Amino acid sequence: MKEKYLKYRKEVHAAALWLSEHGYFGSLRGSGGNVSVRIDSENSMAITPSGVRYTDMTDGDIFVVGFDLELLEGRQGLKASMESEMHSAIYRKRPEVKAVVHTHQTYGSVFSVINMPIPALFDEVALSLGTLIEVAPYAFSGTSELARNVEAVLSGGANACIIQNHGIVALGASLDQAVLNAELLEKTAKIYHLALSSGKRLTTLPAEAIDIIEMIRKPADAQ
């Protein structure tokens, strides 16, 4: 295990274990979902393996692959996450993104199966995620089509999206931020689900608040 990759592998393992323990992957005994972090000064990432239970995973099971999906480091007999191409597509399109979390969390997944985006409900969430949590069209897991669908939805600068009949993706300027963004999406999805279920009229953020948020979130070089 190369020393220069060790901190990234530890970071990915710790984040994946936390997400698993808190139910973000949909099952405690399964291996669904995936986590990655960008390697500094390289076109590469550290990413979870495929088919390994998070409770059984070690730092040494975390893979390091190039954005071209070339294997740089990994345990023999295992494979990097089947969604490596999706993670790579996001890093290529969004150079400011340092980490990607893909989960099967419950309330986010509710909106994936009703194919419904989540509007801006809270300003602090919209500031972090974007003013609309869009739905990327369905494609079979692990395919190039799925990678392209997710990349297209996230190309506008949002830090999260829903994947139709699948789960969610959250991004961040750090792995901690990506995990927090997954939490924020789940909080918002749960509240939106309960609000819709009440049958009462619900309110979204007013247009002037959305304008302010979009101005704040706009990259400095675009203002």
pLDDT digits (tens, 9 = 90+) for 133-151: 999 999 999 999 999 999 9
According to the model, what pLDDT value does residue 1 have?
Answer: 66
Domain count, the chain: 1
CATH number for 135: 3.40.225.10
Which stretches in the chain have pLDDT values below 50? Answer: 220-223
Task: Supply the range of the domain harboring residue 200.
Answer: 3-222
- CA atoms 116, 183, 65, 152: torsion sign: positive
According to the model, what pLDDT value does residue 29 have?
Answer: 81
CA–CA dist 162, 168 (Å, integer): 4
Choosing from 21, 42, 73, 83, which is the catalytic residue? 83
Answer yes or no: 42 catalytic: no
